Structure 1
Amino acid sequence: MKVYKEKLSDKEEKLLVTLLARTKISESCPVAYRLIKITDSQGLESTCVLVPARALVSVLELKKMLLKCGHNPNVTKEYWSRAYQAVIKETDKAITLCYKPGFYGDAYLRANDKVVGEIKGDKPILHPSAKNHLPVEGKQETLKLWKINVAPYALHSSRIMLALCCGFSGFLLKLSGMEGGGFHLWGMSSIGKTSSAYMLASLAGSPKDVVVLWNNTDKGLEEIAVAHNDSYLVLDESKLLDKDVLAAAKIMQNRVYTLSGGKGKTRSAMYENKVAEWQVSIFSTGECSLQQLAASGNIERLEGENVRVIDVNADAGAEMGIFESLPDDVNSSNELVHAIKDATHRYYGSAKPAFLKRLVADIQDDRESVKRKLEKGIEFFLDKHKVDRNSGIQVRIAKRFAIAYVAGSMAVKYGVLPFTKQEIMKGISTCYQDSLKAVLSEPEITKPLMGNSLNAIIDFCKKDDLLNLIGNDRVTQTVIKKAPVIIHKVKGRAVYAVDKDLVHNYLSKSQRKGILTLLTKQGVLLSDVNKEYSTIQIIYKRKQVGRRYCFVCNKFDKFMKE
């Protein structure tokens, strides 16, 4: 028996769609859209969607689009005709489609399409094609609970304090006129670097949604940077760039310039064939410093790169990784790392909107006054640290920390951070002073810098039955030549003399130049005069027994202990 669906009357069948606004055709937005609100059948929840003009050619096309966007399908045929008429009607209300979040005039368009501040003119809305890489800025629990359960951890780590303030500084870049850039927190694994990234991510959302990995494609990172415009970008695990240290060094140098420079290439159709532009505050983590990574690839780190993304050693010097102290109820740094992970994944997403609300209100009230206070705060930081104003490099490095200090101080003033300005200054100043020790110094050689490249060679040198020629004159040349590693004195130094074929087998040609050159610079590997690196002729009982790579024992031993 055929069941006939009861037809609802027009009076009972309430429209669930409302036309809110239309877009204006322009060079940057040649396709017309209409902003429509769709309400559920109970009238309890609603969502706003952009419907392209091509979906308005017929009732059927509009029906397909609305159903795709979640409209209730249980309505009559006559309903769709009425909905169509409601959507295509004339309206004077207009919106501006934007290809990135951030400041538009003195208002701020967030990644979730919410506008902070009063709008003068058409309301900005994110273009549908701009939403591919937007951070998920969800909120869980209140700002008050975040301030109680998450923020206080920064008082136990200057590195975490820097991370939080670096995040707030992203909203001040445009006002200050500074270029994008930030900090690279580096150190061995399990030292707490990711805890800093989690703390920073929690300003805007859940760490699992906000933290980005370095190993995206160049194009992908450009689009991610655009999606974080006028905000901050958390990049984790620089070691994932490439197994080849030379390739990794080149990739990193290029990406640091691109991300901090704020301009991409003209290849992305997403931006209507125009150059993608952005301005972000960067906080990156990795096992090696950017200076070490450049040195490992035999690449000179340029001054402009030094001042755009600044290396900060994750080790705070208190034998607790990134921490200088522990809360009273925590027994170890490892326990504190787990506590931070739990807290930041439970309380998040309230600090960024709270900061923006106050900042935008101040800007809209008196933009020039906010700008003067920002400049005054930066000058205060430079004066306090006696920065040489005649040195452009020193000033630019100091200003990167200074704007973080000012941003943190503003967050205190706005009631977002539960600290004092003195506590903000202490944390930022500590990181600044520690960074200066390494900015112009020779990069320290570490095993993480080499990745797994030297592991096989180290394993050979660790063996207990190595042939030791020091003080031993009873070994034949044949035995010496067959030994993969021998201990001998070369140029007055005890060395592990490693067979060159063994080194070449485990270090590819592309890796060899960068790694062996760096080891030579550090005095770990001996070489002939004026050579970047080389084998050295081994002399035993006044006879030549073959050329080998000679690693100085007391310096190479530290690799074996890690």
Structure 2
Amino acid sequence: MKEYKEILNNKKEKLFVTLLARTKISESCPVAYRLIKITDFQEMESTRVLVPAKALISVLELKKTLLTCGHNPNVTKEYWIQAHQEVIKETDKIITLCYKPGFYGDVYLRVNDIVIGKVKGDKPVLHPGAKNHLSVEDKQETLKLWKMNVAPYALYSSRIMLALCCGFSGFLLKLSGMEGGGFHLWGMSSIGKTSSAYMLASLAGSPKDIVVLWNNTDKGLEEIAVAHNDSYLVLDESKLLDKDVLAAAKIMQNRVYTLSGGKGKTRSAMYENKVAEWQVSIFSTGECSLQQLAASGNVERLEGENVRVIDVNADAGAEMGIFESLPDGINSSNELVHAIKDATHRYYGSAKPAFLKRLVADIQDDRESVKRKLEKGIEFFLNKHQVDRNSGIQVRIAKRFAIAYVAGSMAVKYGVLPFTKQDVMKGISTCYLDSLEVVLSEPEVMKSPLGRSFDAIIDFIKKDDLLNLIGNDRVTQTAIKKATVIIHKVKGRTVYAVDKDLVHNCLPKSQRKGILTLLTKQGVLLSDTNKEYSTIQIIYKRKQVGRRYCFVCSKFDKFMTE
């Protein structure tokens, strides 16, 4: 302590507080601040702090503020006087306080207050009140290692390619004039959806810091969206919205519109009583498609909702979940999922700044040229897929995939993705074509999730000679056990009780959980308490005669009319 004071007495000019800039008073920022740098005496590391002008009223007030900000307390009284003089002095350096990251003119303000691009006017800095929901965009290992150990997995899954390109497209929304929106990857658990989310998250930071759960509050999600402005938002586990299907459907519909629309519905003091606004690219995952969820809750989808956040089936059709093929040395999709988790949690955070550095440089060099190339790339995608320009919905769907394709192609050009443009086109085009038929069709709740795999079960139930146990007390247990489908009363409902082996044989193991869980949520399939789906013990004349899948007749009969 004594030695430290002597150093200051001998070198009075040696301050660990440096004034960097001041803010202007404006309508958007009515409180004045000063940006200072505090240097740690022993570590010689510095941090930047915004000090409100009211803290400059006296040496004592400044001392309290600086100590709160982590300044070393072991200094003399004279030191605090010098520090106060340093902070209140005149300066021509001016900063603009911003309530969200993103583009400001031709520069990009990141969540860590780093500005990408050459600043020609006042430097943008994040307002202290804007930092509550910012993601931690940390970097671990180099871009070169990320390109070697993470990015190549996209070559084995069109869904992962879509996820990566969706992320890069968030930086192009403002330039393109497109509204926010994106994709919802849906399918049963253990199919690899979260792997896509991890891959996308790794562009900016560690997946544990980047991925956001759907079950935040409405206000919380708005503020999270603001914190991801001019970037991308990864939302996982839509099933967590609400246990009640109808409530979950209404919540999801509202949130899709709000997040893609880019404008909050509530006011928050955080935004100085202004409605929150943002623009983000969205990548969401869940066990049900948004279309199925809405139909399950008997919620009519609003016009244009299905083209804001587009359903993409996670199953790529190769019986390997989201994957179409496997890398050499990996023997199963499950093994590949674990490899992706390990890689994305080890190498991350280098791709986003690398892409933005090149994009901002191009914009500052010739903004109009970048816009023309963006528009040309979108037109190329639409022309290649022969999109009907007279159909507004088809054009909007195609443009959502097209901007992902253009963003991915730019990432290839910038050296961020180690692929070719043809690789990018192949992945995006596959997802576009796979999703197109479902998005443009009417929401057939029961038919769409089942497909042909359920036809055999429907055929059995359509037979006229089903064994009916209701009001019939002359049937033997042997006859019941031999019958593939019986009609009976279970939990007060008339059901088709179907032999579990028939169901298991008709439904591929990779689809079984998703289909049966969905039917349970819809009330078509009965289940034991607190089970996602289950067989139910059949009781006949007070004796157990085996467990079966029990489909409610009144609801299941709708299948037969399709």
Provide closer, same or farther for how the CA distance between residues 497 and 46 of structure 1 changes in structure 2, counting only shifts above 3 A: same
Match of 1:533 in 2: none
Check conservation: 1:179, 1:261, Cα contact below 8 A.
yes
Confirm or deny that 1:316 pairs with 2:319: no
CA deviations on 1:211-252 (whole Å, 9 max, x unpaired) are 000000000000000000000000000000000000000000
Residues 107-506 of structure 1: pairs in structure 2 closer than 5 A:
107-441=107-441, 442-443=443-444, 445=446, 470=467, 475-476=472-473, 496-499=487-490, 501=492
Using the alignment, how far apart are the partners of 1:5 and 1:164 within structure 2?
Answer: 52
* 1:303 CA displacement: 3.1
* RMSD over equivalenced CA pairs, Å: 3.1
* 1:62 CA displacement: 1.1
SS at match of 1:276: strand
Residues 50-65 of structure 1: pairs in structure 2 closer than 5 A:
50-65=50-65
Check conservation: 2:103, 2:230, Cα contact below 8 A.
yes
* 1:304 CA displacement: 1.1
Match of 1:10 in 2: 9
* 1:9 CA displacement: 4.6
Residue range with higher mean Cα deviation, 71-80 or 291-300: 71-80
Structure 2 stretches of 5 or more lacking a match? Answer: 451-464, 496-517, 527-550
Using the alignment, how far apart are the partners of 1:90 and 1:255 within structure 2?
Answer: 47
For 1:89, the aligned partner's letter is K
Provide closer, same or farther for how the CA distance between residues 500 and 360 of structure 1 changes in structure 2, counting only shifts above 3 A: same
* % identical equivalent positions: 82
* 1:128 CA displacement: 0.3
Check conservation: 1:362, 1:370, Cα contact below 8 A.
yes
Provide closer, same or farther for how the CA distance between residues 41 and 473 of structure 1 changes in structure 2, counting only shifts above 3 A: closer
* 1:38 CA displacement: 0.7
For 2:242, the aligned partner's letter is D
Check conservation: 2:470, 2:487, Cα contact below 8 A.
no
* 1:121 CA displacement: 1.1
* 1:498 CA displacement: 3.6
Using the alignment, how far apart are the partners of 1:275 and 1:6 within structure 2?
Answer: 50
For 1:11, the aligned partner's letter is N
Match of 1:545 in 2: none
Residues 84-103 of structure 1: pairs in structure 2 closer than 5 A:
84-103=84-103
For 1:550, the aligned partner's letter is C
* 1:475 CA displacement: 3.1
Check conservation: 2:466, 2:485, Cα contact below 8 A.
no
Using the alignment, how far apart are the partners of 1:237 and 1:313 within structure 2?
Answer: 15
Provide closer, same or farther for how the CA distance between residues 176 and 473 of structure 1 changes in structure 2, counting only shifts above 3 A: closer
Match of 2:77 in 1: 77
SS at match of 1:19: strand
Using the alignment, how far apart are the partners of 2:448 and 2:371 within structure 1?
Answer: 45
* 1:65 CA displacement: 1.3
Using the alignment, how far apart are the partners of 1:230 and 1:473 within structure 2?
Answer: 62
Using the alignment, how far apart are the partners of 2:129 and 2:201 within structure 1?
Answer: 24
* 1:207 CA displacement: 0.3
Provide closer, same or farther for how the CA distance between residues 353 and 298 of structure 1 changes in structure 2, counting only shifts above 3 A: same
* 1:266 CA displacement: 4.0
Check conservation: 1:495, 1:552, Cα contact below 8 A.
no
* 1:33 CA displacement: 0.6
* 1:302 CA displacement: 2.4
Using the alignment, how far apart are the partners of 1:35 and 1:265 within structure 2?
Answer: 32
CA deviations on 1:279-331 (whole Å, 9 max, x unpaired) are 00000000000000000000122231110000000000000000001110111
Confirm or deny that 1:550 pairs with 2:553: yes
For 1:475, the aligned partner's letter is N
* 1:68 CA displacement: 1.7
Aligned length: 494
Using the alignment, how far apart are the partners of 1:498 and 1:357 within structure 2?
Answer: 66
Check conservation: 1:494, 1:552, Cα contact below 8 A.
no
Provide closer, same or farther for how the CA distance between residues 119 and 501 of structure 1 changes in structure 2, counting only shifts above 3 A: same
TM value normalised by structure 1: 0.82
Using the alignment, how far apart are the partners of 1:160 and 1:219 within structure 2?
Answer: 30
For 1:356, the aligned partner's letter is L
* 1:267 CA displacement: 1.9
Structure 1 stretches of 5 or more lacking a match? Answer: 450-467, 480-485, 505-513, 526-547, 557-562
SS at match of 2:27: coil
SS at match of 1:282: strand
Using the alignment, how far apart are the partners of 2:41 and 2:27 within structure 1?
Answer: 38
Using the alignment, how far apart are the partners of 1:189 and 1:126 within structure 2?
Answer: 39
Provide closer, same or farther for how the CA distance between residues 241 and 5 of structure 1 changes in structure 2, counting only shifts above 3 A: closer
TM value normalised by structure 2: 0.82
Confirm or deny that 1:31 pairs with 2:28: no
For 2:47, the aligned partner's letter is T
Provide closer, same or farther for how the CA distance between residues 43 and 335 of structure 1 changes in structure 2, counting only shifts above 3 A: closer
CA deviations on 1:146-200 (whole Å, 9 max, x unpaired) are 0000000000000000000000000000000000000000000000000000000
Provide closer, same or farther for how the CA distance between residues 119 and 498 of structure 1 changes in structure 2, counting only shifts above 3 A: farther
Provide closer, same or farther for how the CA distance between residues 469 and 42 of structure 1 changes in structure 2, counting only shifts above 3 A: closer
CA deviations on 1:407-426 (whole Å, 9 max, x unpaired) are 00000000000000000000
CA deviations on 1:358-417 (whole Å, 9 max, x unpaired) are 000000100000000000000000000000000000000000000000000000000000
Match of 1:462 in 2: none
For 2:179, the aligned partner's letter is E
